[in-house]
Amino acid sequence: WEVWEDLDRAIDMAERDEKARAVIVRGRGRSFCSGLDQDPASQVFMHDPPGAAQKTGFYRAVRRAMAIHDRLERLPQPTIAAIQGHCLGAGLELALCCDFRYCAAGTVFSLPEARFAVITDVGGLQRLPAIVGRNYAREIILRGHRFDADWALKIQLVSEVFPDEAGLEAGVMSLAEEIAALPPLAVQGAKEVLLFDERVDRSRSQAFNAARSSMILPSEDFGEVLAARLENREPEYKGA
């Protein structure tokens, strides 16, 4: 959750910066974002089944993360995701909040939550179909598989693939400079109207998503996934 809190503070800064005309979202190090920590030794989920209080806590946490992603999406300035390395799980959901997505060759994408016995839950189920279409969204979400930059370009998840990170950096900066040179009222006004049209029914969908996710996380199957990884074996799912 620390990453989301850092993101929330960065959004505050962007909102207050009246001179900012575009916002670039990038990850430090080798990857854009590899999702939540799935190291079994670091998890609190390998305990007894959760009670009502814990499920309520998960629901509130999911809604909080959704709200931060929504804030990024609603930034008045156009946002550009510069993606490299791994873009997995919540990291991909973060990229989906941006107006533009560019990546470097070799980038790996996935929404792997189904393979961890949980549900994609911070806006990906709502945003992905609107970006790549319902068929590709179902394939990505229900399979939970990894795919490469070329396929991401084919399904229009990203607008362009650059040969390396240096090319990605140059391309993203060029786009940001192009946007910054345009009249901000026109650009930001158009973005606001586009978002209004896209979000008419999303709030209800996200409320249901958070409720459904909190019923499942954590489950016995999720604990089994983590235990199986720790013990280097295949998980045995119970559907519970």
Alpha-carbon distance of 88 to 19, in angstroms, equals 32
Between the two ends of the chain, the Cα-to-Cα distance in Å is 26
240 inside domain:
no
pLDDT tens digits in sequence order for the chain, 240 residues long:
678 889 999 999 999 998 999 999 999 888 999 876 554 434 444 455 667 777 788 888 889 999 999 999 999 999 999 999 999 999 999 999 999 999 999 999 999 999 988 889 899 999 999 999 999 999 999 999 999 999 999 999 999 999 999 999 999 999 999 999 998 988 998 888 888 777 767 777 778 778 877 776 667 887 888 889 899 999 887 766
224 inside domain:
yes
- Examine the residue annotation and report whether 15 is marked as an active-site residue of this protein: no
Closest CA to 68 of 123, 4, 124: 4
The CATH number that applies at residue 207 is: 3.90.226.10
85 inside domain:
yes
Supply the pTM of this predicted model: 0.83
* Catalytic residue (choose from 15, 18, 113, 224): 113
Strand partners, 160: 102
* Catalytic residue (choose from 93, 177, 192, 198): 93
- Examine the residue annotation and report whether 113 is marked as an active-site residue of this protein: yes
Alpha-carbon distance of 196 to 174, in angstroms, equals 28
Q: Domain count for the chain, please give it.
A: 1
